[in-house]
Amino acid sequence: MTAADMAWSSSLKNTINLGNSIIGVSILAMPYCFEKAMLSSLLLLVSGLLTRMTCHLLLKSAITARRRNYEFLAFHTFGPTGKLVVEIGILGFLLGSCVAFFVVMGDLAPPLASDFFLLEASPRLRLTVLLLLGTCVGLPLGLLRNLDSLTSLSALSLGFYCLLVLKVFLESFPVLWSGAWWDRVVLWRHENLLSVLPIFAMALSCQPQLFEIFDTVNEPSLKRMNSVVNGAVQMCSMVYIMMGFFGYVAFCGGGGPLPGNVLIRLGSSLASEFIKLGFVATLVVSFPLCLFPCRTSLHSLLFKRGSKFHDPSYDYIPDGQFRLLTVLLVGATLATACLVPNIEIVLGLTGSTIGTLICVIMPALVFTRVQPKSTNERLVAKFLSWAGLCIMIGCTMTTLSQVRPPDRGSAPSRLNPLAVVVSRPAPLLR
């Protein structure tokens, strides 16, 4: 194998890993977003461009400052305060993602177990299934130091998302063939733009996981890393658009407004049950990918108080601390999902505040510090920092507007679309 072939193979693996870290349960909310404002799906393309620009600024800052870690890059530019902000931000963002994984698994897995084992669906069954998934699957995978062994599973996860899109396409095909869908869909609802903005703004975020890929590349040039980011963002954007369009066409106009979890609308056929089971499996595989940068940030926050932030060997986590942090994080996220199954609004607020801070505002501010000269890129970074602040305010206000006391006798929703804001299979393969 030539050097060019090896470089292409490595870039493809990194693109798949990053793509799997981006795409997640947010895919379930795409039909909901299209129903709210179909042409506002252009916001998805804008969000993709925003992600690519902020990742470029973050990568260029890291290469210029010779730092291969988000926290240490923030320490280099803003001192201990900047490092603390990034650590807490990444922790909050990714912990919300991990909790969301367990919440969705708690919604999908117990009904499947009830049908398969002929058990009574009950809160105890949900608790049992979550404990089994967390301790017997999530914890062992989370204890892996080298995640190269999960690369093939990451590719299978992306393949499953394509299978999910195919299933939804088959559901929509009769409607598309008859042409009746054109009279049922609504192309533009400007009043709903702010309600879908939090989902679109965060659906393609990968900044907290970017350095997990960056750290695995021997010679990470800016051009090569930009190529990986662009490929992953474009791939996920296409999947989101197809899922949103076909899901909206298939299920609009039947049974009321579309839910945030489009899997609820799937029938009880064997194929539908297989899709739900596969989605649970992809969440289980994605959990350790999300856990990895979360553990790195927590270790940096708790154990790195010295002045050796520039030392690459200082980034190593000793075995004892590695296992302790893994058990702590898995236990905390699992307990939160078990005790607070309806955490949708909390996750929405987490994504619209901390997520925007970490994914948009901080990368732009870091670049303005690393690049003191007045250049076009520095002007873009200043604009993005203000745009990120506006997105944060708009998303937070929109999320807060969704907080309404439930009607008496009505059951709370298991998966609110706003939970998707922070629920992407986050992070990556080593």
Provide DSSP, 216-262.
Answer: T-SS--HHHHHHHHHHHHHHHHHHHHHHHHHHHHHHTTSSSSPPS-G
pLDDT band at 345 (very low <50, low <70, confident <90, very high): low
- Could you identify the residue written with the tokens 């658009």? 241
* Cα distance between the two ends of the chain: 22
Q: Are 83 and 75 in contact (CB under 8 A)?
A: yes
Select, from the ranges 2-11, 95-104, 150-159, 221-230, the one with the highest average predicted confidence (pLDDT).
Answer: 221-230
Residue 362: pLDDT band (50, 70, 90) is very high
Kindly state the average pLDDT of the residues 413-429.
44
Note the pLDDT of residue 419.
43
> What mean pLDDT is predicted for residues 49-68?
91
* Torsion angle, alpha carbons of 409, 414, 417, 418, to 10: 90
What DSSP letter does each residue of 362-406 carry, written as one string? HHHHHHHHH--S--HHHHHHHHHHHHHHHHHHHHHHHHHHT--PP
Domains of the chain in start order, with CATH, are 10-403+412-422 (1.20.1730)
Coil/strand/helix, residue 54: helix
Confidence of residue 125 (pLDDT cuts 50, 70, 90): confident
- How far apart CA 40 and CA 23 sit, in angstroms, is 19
Check residue 230 and give its pLDDT. 93
Least confident of 16-25, 151-160, 173-182, 257-266: 151-160
Q: Which of 136-140, 153-157, 337-341 has the highest mean pLDDT?
A: 136-140
- Give yes or no for residue 124 having a pLDDT over 70: yes
Residue 307 has pLDDT above 50, yes or no: no
Q: How confident is the model at residue 106 (pLDDT cuts 50, 70, 90)?
A: confident
Burial class (CB in 10 A: 0-12, 13-18, 19+), 80: exposed
* Predicted pLDDT of residue 279: 82
